[in-house]
Structure 1
Amino acid sequence: MSSPADIDLDALPVDVRMLIESERAARAELEQQVATLGRHNERLAHLVQEFRKALYGKRSEKLSADERQLAFEDLETALATAETAKEAADATTPAAGHDARAPVRRNLGRLPKELPRIEQVLEPASGCCPCGGEMTRIGEERTERLDIVPAQFRVIATVRPKYACRVCSGAVVQAPAPAHLIEGALPTEGLIAHVLVAKYADHLPLYRQAQIYRRTGIDLHRSTLADWVGKAAFHLAPVVDRLAWHMKGSTRLFMDETTAPVLDPGRGRTRTGYLWALARDDRRWGGSDPPGVVYIYAPGRGAVHAEAMLQGFTGILQVDGYSAYKTLAGKARPEGPFTLAHCWAHGRRQLREVFERDGSPMAEEGLRRIAELYRIEAELKGRSSEERRAARQVRSRPIVEAFRTWLDAQRARVSPKSRIGEKLGYFANHWAGLCVFLGDGRVEIDSNAVENTIRPLALGRKNALFAGHDEGARSWAHIASLIETAKMNDLDPFAYLKATLEALAKGHPNQRIDELLPWAFNQTSS
């Protein structure tokens, strides 16, 4: 007996052929959905295993109370993100005869009666019955969610009156319930935004936020806050992906990386991951592209990670002297090569180290020459790119050429393995990249712009010690990208995230995702 795949469709009647093709398409779609759910289940199983390792691992007793709190915080955030992704996939494949809506997960927290309450009464669009009679209010449904105005908790009570007709008995109308980012849970989108800003901008781990809330009479466990953060990270991910797409579409970018210690629960200590930053900042020469930064977490610092992050980018990449960038710039890429512009400030700092330690006259002379370049750059701040290029050709190029002559003479006098020889070697090894700024007014003399975007991450690392898990570090990178980009565009991160989460809760369409990017946010109308 032949299988359905062996049937000659052309020999069948049209209606039978269409039925078979429809069933094949439906089967292929179901197989794809099963595969997707399988991947979600595998990820959840992996996270549960990591959670058990953190809790019951042989060396978990070596973790301090704070370290355990951070481990659980990021694992629970990762679980919430994975579960939300699975629920989103489940919602597209409801079982036959079952309600397509995901089960409501209610928070069992208590909303104190003494908190102020603001009622939002949602009336139906019309108070008239289709039969022509006047509708009468017969009851209402009331839901309460916990909201926050910075430094003040309050309860938003949503009242939806029900109306029935006095003439006939069949019509009852009520305004539809408003959409929430986390259905059935306590927080408003404003409260979720507040938690995100406190964690990723103000560097307050969730367990410390829980302690602060408890002092105001609000008992919110760290795991509850982690659940909110994880769900928010899932919903914000498309906005961050779009931000990264815009960054890589630029003609010039800054790139840098910093360590991100990540807890390894089974070993009772941290291992080193990295947060990479791709930044754009054309404000010094009045460029039209808005400033922004996207952070990407990777478990290592190798060129393979930078290669994946820069996929699709061509243009000028401003970096420090890390060799991975040079390796990557020399490789053949499908999208074409990019040009490296190296950082004069990086070399200047190395010379300053030698001068402050040894009082080297050679280092002092190098610093004096570089200072002349920086005096010119200070005068060119705010000029157009063409004005900067022209001025650099006339004023800066002779200084750079004289520096190269001086550099070659000094390197011939000292051992390349000496301290000063190693520092001078930076300039010689990256000379082509150090000269790029002379011929392009859009290029900065250094990569300080991206280093400024790295500092908030370093502060967060100092306060939180480390990320509790790789997934937590990825959430950190995503949410910090939106917060720091908002700050670069002179926005209040809380107002931006609140408005963005509210838009996502209302089902903002994916094809208009650009409207949710920080530089598109109108703070005056929020």
Structure 2
Amino acid sequence: MGSRDELHDELVNDILKLLEKLGRRTAHLEFELMRLRKSAKGRTSEQIDTSQLSLLLSLVSEADKPKVEADDESETVDPLEDLDKFEAKIDSDLEDADAEDIDEAAAAEGEAKKPSRRQRPPEHLPVEERVIDVERSQLEGCDDMGFIGYAESHTLDWRQGHFIHVHTKRAKYAPKSGDGPVVTAPCPPQVIVRGLAEPGLLAHVIVSKYADHLPLNRLVKIFARDGLDLTISTMVGWLRACASLLAPLHELLGQTVLASHVLQTDDTGVQVLDNKDPEGSKRGHLWGYLGDGKLAYFEYTPDWKADATREFLRAREGWIQADAYKGYDRVFNWPGSRAVEVGCWAHARRYFVEAKDGGDARAAVPLAVIKKMYKVERKAPRGIAVGRNNWQFAGNDASGRRKAIMYSLIRTCELNGVEPWAYLRDVLMRIADGWPQKRLAELLPQNWSPDAVASAA
């Protein structure tokens, strides 16, 4: 009997330990689920009508909608059947959702990071050799000079579909007498001084993130398959540098959009990490402007206050098509305003629908015309439908501003039939090489073509 009682007590203890373990796991998983839901949460009311400026907001119009359906190809795990597998899946989802932007937030706060180690491109990559000789002006006044070798550097570039190892060799000369300074050929223009990435690779990262909606943590994994040991923080640094170079173009594009014959505007929300907020994130906004159907301009604000958009639209003379958001009232009603308010089709259509429902058959004609227009708009790419499953929030306000810059240029490229990668690769290099400020308008997407810019240079 004693042994049976001992066995019974042992089993009871084992069961109690298991229940305690399950309780801890349940609490942990509930916490992780809360984080995941909070990161995916968006406003559920006043969603943007799909017919309203869908062409303008094709990149961001659905970023504020909550995820209510899982990907058809995603794996479904029953937490009651396999707790370990369920927990692993949640961890994976959270990693995909926020690895990149948490890294951005940490970098913004100045958290200590391991110093980056400059790597040499993998040996299997095709090599493009670039030899630069000294200029004659560098040798003027020097004694009889002799070639003594090269100053060499190794960088990474991207051509459509593959990486390139760029091997730069700068010729060095020294006086044959052995007495005097060494003269070295100048460095070629670089988007990021002493950086690893050439313009093609920088453009590839920008397009992958902002046009193809791939988070940087996934790009790291993709690049690793080609033998590249790049980090998220490295690519965040690249994006910062590129956004800084492209900021004057973004500002000029905004001024051009403001002068359009017809200006349309709308906004959408973006969750932004904020450690000062009790919930860990806040709701920023991207304000989108479409000029004459060809020019797209986005502006980021850390909240939904209309101060920024009112300031932007204050100088507007002419039509502004907008929704009924009250923040626009001060744009149209302030003394001296020359802006003319124009309603959106969604409101006009509603009256025809009411007439049709009331038995007026004449309403069918305008409804058919409006339907055709909506059909054209629905063909516009809805990139955010993919993007919202890949990035859930911006890492900080600076990240939101970068999104506005990149979305503006990429979307305007698409509206004008310009290939974004080719455009960004060329423009980044030209700006880094000292493109004249007075000719900046030539580099706007709607004005750019590689041949035209090259011939004007």
TM-score w.r.t. the length of structure 1 is 0.60
1:280 aligns with 2:301: no
Maintained 8 Å contact 1:161/1:174: yes
Shift of 1:136: 3.0
More deviation, 65-74/495-504:
65-74
Over 3 Å counting, the alpha-carbon distance change for 1:271 and 1:172 in structure 2 is closer
Maintained 8 Å contact 2:158/2:201: yes
Code of the aligned partner of 2:122 = P
Q: In structure 2, what is the equivalent of residue 161 of structure 1?
A: 171
Over 3 Å counting, the alpha-carbon distance change for 1:298 and 1:167 in structure 2 is closer
CA distance in 2, matches of 1:363, 1:304: 44
Show the 5 A alignment for 1:251-266.
Answer: 251-265=261-275
Q: In structure 2, what is the equivalent of residue 211 of structure 1?
A: 221
Maintained 8 Å contact 1:145/1:187: yes
1:183 aligns with 2:193: yes
Shift of 1:493: 0.4
Query: What secondary structure sits across from 1:242 in the alignment?
Result: helix
1:271 aligns with 2:282: yes
Maintained 8 Å contact 1:76/1:223: no
CA distance in 1, matches of 2:269, 2:379: 15
1:117 pairs with 120, 127, 131, which one?
127
CA distance in 2, matches of 1:138, 1:493: 42
Code of the aligned partner of 2:340 = T
Q: In structure 2, what is the equivalent of residue 315 of structure 1?
A: 318
Maintained 8 Å contact 1:106/1:184: no
Shift of 1:516: 1.9
Code of the aligned partner of 1:328 = V
Q: In structure 1, what is the equivalent of residue 349 of structure 2?
A: 348
1:227 aligns with 2:222: no
Shift of 1:127: 10
Over 3 Å counting, the alpha-carbon distance change for 1:364 and 1:454 in structure 2 is farther
CA distance in 2, matches of 1:128, 1:330: 63
CA distance in 2, matches of 1:267, 1:364: 54
Maintained 8 Å contact 2:265/2:320: yes
Deviations 1:350-387 (A, max 9, x none): 976x99xxxx8338858514236549xx8xxxxxxxxx
Deviations 1:221-271 (A, max 9, x none): 111111111111111111101111111123421111122222344545543
CA distance in 2, matches of 1:212, 1:323: 45
Maintained 8 Å contact 2:104/2:233: no
1:296 aligns with 2:299: yes
Query: What secondary structure sits across from 1:520 in the alignment?
Result: coil
Code of the aligned partner of 1:488 = L
Shift of 1:294: 0.6
Shift of 1:345: 3.9
Show the 5 A alignment for 1:238-253.
Answer: 238-253=248-263
More deviation, 247-256/115-124:
247-256
Code of the aligned partner of 2:231 = H
Maintained 8 Å contact 1:59/1:267: no
Q: In structure 2, what is the equivalent of residue 508 of structure 1?
A: 435
Maintained 8 Å contact 2:266/2:288: yes
Count of matched residue pairs: 360
Over 3 Å counting, the alpha-carbon distance change for 1:191 and 1:128 in structure 2 is closer
Shift of 1:344: 2.2
Code of the aligned partner of 1:301 = W
Code of the aligned partner of 1:65 = E
Query: What secondary structure sits across from 1:481 in the alignment?
Result: helix
Over 3 Å counting, the alpha-carbon distance change for 1:67 and 1:267 in structure 2 is farther
1:71 aligns with 2:72: no
Deviations 1:431-455 (A, max 9, x none): xxxxxxxxxxxxxx99x97x99895
1:330 pairs with 306, 330, 333, which one?
333
Query: What secondary structure sits across from 2:153 in the alignment?
Result: strand
Maintained 8 Å contact 1:121/1:159: yes
CA distance in 1, matches of 2:117, 2:422: 25
Over 3 Å counting, the alpha-carbon distance change for 1:62 and 1:318 in structure 2 is closer
Show the 5 A alignment for 1:88-99.
Answer: none
CA distance in 1, matches of 2:183, 2:145: 8
Query: What secondary structure sits across from 2:338 in the alignment?
Result: coil
Deviations 1:136-166 (A, max 9, x none): 3211100111111233112111101123455
Q: In structure 1, what is the equivalent of residue 340 of structure 2?
A: 339
1:362 aligns with 2:354: no
Q: In structure 2, what is the equivalent of residue 108 of structure 1?
A: 118
CA distance in 2, matches of 1:307, 1:133: 65
Maintained 8 Å contact 2:104/2:236: yes
Tell me, which stretches of 5 or more residues in structure 1 are unaligned? 1-57, 81-104, 283-290, 379-444
Shift of 1:462: 4.1
Which structure features the higher share of helix residues?
1
Query: What secondary structure sits across from 2:260 in the alignment?
Result: coil
Shift of 1:476: 0.5
1:461 aligns with 2:350: no
Deviations 1:441-496 (A, max 9, x none): xxxx99x97x9989545653343122222221111011110111111111110011
CA distance in 1, matches of 2:157, 2:436: 25
Deviations 1:97-146 (A, max 9, x none): xxxxxxxx975334222222111001123399657987432111001111
CA distance in 2, matches of 1:140, 1:125: 15
Maintained 8 Å contact 2:128/2:166: yes
Question: What RMSD over aligned residues (CA atoms) do the two structures have, in Å?
Answer: 3.6
Shift of 1:330: 1.8
Code of the aligned partner of 2:449 = N
CA distance in 2, matches of 1:128, 1:308: 51
Give the % identical residues.
Answer: 31
1:371 pairs with 339, 363, 367, which one?
367
CA distance in 2, matches of 1:307, 1:362: 39
Query: What secondary structure sits across from 2:136 in the alignment?
Result: coil
Maintained 8 Å contact 1:263/1:270: yes
Shift of 1:510: 2.3
CA distance in 2, matches of 1:453, 1:75: 33
Q: In structure 2, what is the equivalent of residue 471 of structure 1?
A: 398
Q: In structure 1, what is the equivalent of residue 16 of structure 2?
A: none
Maintained 8 Å contact 1:127/1:135: no
Show the 5 A alignment for 1:130-145.
Answer: 130=140, 135-145=145-155
Tell me, which stretches of 5 or more residues in structure 2 are unaligned? 1-30, 37-93
Over 3 Å counting, the alpha-carbon distance change for 1:174 and 1:71 in structure 2 is closer
Deviations 1:307-329 (A, max 9, x none): 12213211111223434334531
Code of the aligned partner of 2:404 = A
Code of the aligned partner of 1:322 = Y
Maintained 8 Å contact 1:76/1:226: no
Following TM superposition, the consecutive aligned residue runs of length 4 or more in structure 1 with deviations greater than 6 angstroms are 58-61, 131-134, 349-352, 451-454
